[in-house]
């Protein structure tokens, strides 16, 4: 304090100018805090996993059965497969090995199976054309057949047509009398 008193006595004007300068500097510091500002938030971002599931109109039952067939006969069966999940799914049809009784000559090697994707069974206008999924003997069908991607809620109707081709005259198909074959078909969907 004694320094300030001696400074005041020596040059009061210098002390006042120094104090005024300090006050102006303090005012600038306080005054420069004013600026424009803007903020925004995106709260509650939620992420959830989709589901993959499907329904089978004949789950646990045969799509097609036929008994007492003779050469030249055919039989037809249908099944509807629907994507019941919330996500698109890649669908496939697979089967277990056919069981022939008797094993030789094997009725699964004689019967011709044609599988058609008829599309959405509820479609009435501008419906896409049916698509052949497979045609050939039951025995030669690939273990797994890709069916494509189904959007959520999409339904496809599949028609299975089994034909017993006529081998000709004079008992050409006698080896198949009383024969039978059984096969399991399985549907799957993955993301």
- pLDDT tens digits for 171-180? 899 999 999 9
Q: Looking at residue 160, which CATH number applies to its domain?
A: 2.60.120
Going by pLDDT thresholds of 50, 70 and 90, the confidence category of residue 85 is: very high
Q: Are residues 59 and 10 in the same domain?
A: no
Answer whether residue 106 is part of any domain: yes
Round to the nearest angstrom and report the end-to-end CA distance of the chain: 83
Q: To 10 degrees, what angle do helices 2-10 and 12-31 make?
A: 110
Answer whether residue 35 is part of any domain: no
Contacts of 179 (CB under 8 A, 6+ apart): 100, 101, 102, 105, 106, 107
For residue 181, the enclosing domain spans 55-167+177-190
- pLDDT tens digits for 123-168? 999 999 999 999 999 999 999 999 999 999 999 999 999 999 999 8
Answer whether residue 36 is part of any domain: no
Answer whether residue 119 is part of any domain: yes
Q: Are residues 20 and 77 in the same domain?
A: no
Q: Are residues 88 and 150 in the same domain?
A: yes
The total of other beta-carbon atoms located within 10 Å of residue 93's CB is: 22
Could you give the CA distance from residue 138 to residue 44 in angstroms, rounded to a whole number?
54
Answer whether residue 43 is part of any domain: no
Q: Are residues 73 and 154 in the same domain?
A: yes
Domain count, the chain: 2
- pLDDT tens digits for 47-83? 989 899 999 999 999 999 999 999 999 999 999 999 9
Q: Are residues 123 and 84 in the same domain?
A: yes
- Is the distance from CB of 102 to CB of 178 less than 8 angstroms? no
Decide: helix, strand or coil at residue 124. coil
Q: Are residues 60 and 154 in the same domain?
A: yes
Q: Are residues 88 and 132 in the same domain?
A: yes
Q: Are residues 81 and 157 in the same domain?
A: yes
Q: Are residues 72 and 126 in the same domain?
A: yes
Q: Are residues 106 and 14 in the same domain?
A: no
Q: Are residues 6 and 98 in the same domain?
A: no
Q: Are residues 99 and 186 in the same domain?
A: yes
At 103, list the tokens: 């094993």
Answer whether residue 46 is part of any domain: no
Answer whether residue 37 is part of any domain: no
Could you give the CA distance from residue 5 to residue 18 in angstroms, rounded to a whole number?
14
CA angle 151, 143, 159 (to 5 degrees): 55
pTM, full prediction: 0.77
């Amino acid at each position: 304090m004694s320094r300030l008193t001696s400074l005041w006595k020596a040059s009061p004007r210098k002390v006042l100018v120094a104090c005024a300068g300090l006050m102006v500097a303090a005012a600038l510091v306080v005054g420069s805090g004013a600026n424009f500002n803007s903020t925004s938030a995106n709260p509650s971002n939620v992420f959830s996993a989709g589901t993959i599931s499907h329904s089978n109109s004949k789950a646990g039952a045969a799509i097609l059965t036929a008994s007492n067939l003779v050469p030249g006969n055919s039989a037809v069966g249908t099944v509807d497969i629907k994507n019941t999940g919330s996500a698109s799914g890649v669908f496939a049809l697979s089967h277990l090995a056919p069981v022939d009784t008797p094993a030789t000559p094997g009725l699964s090697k004689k019967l011709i199976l044609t599988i058609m994707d008829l599309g959405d069974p509820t479609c009435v206008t501008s419906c896409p054309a049916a698509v052949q999924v497979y045609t050939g003997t039951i025995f030669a069908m690939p273990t797994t057949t890709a069916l494509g991607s189904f959007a959520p809620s999409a339904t496809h109707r599949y028609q299975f047509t089994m034909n017993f081709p006529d081998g000709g005259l004079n008992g050409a198909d006698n080896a198949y009398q009383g024969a039978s074959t059984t096969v399991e078909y399985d549907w799957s969907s993955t993301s």
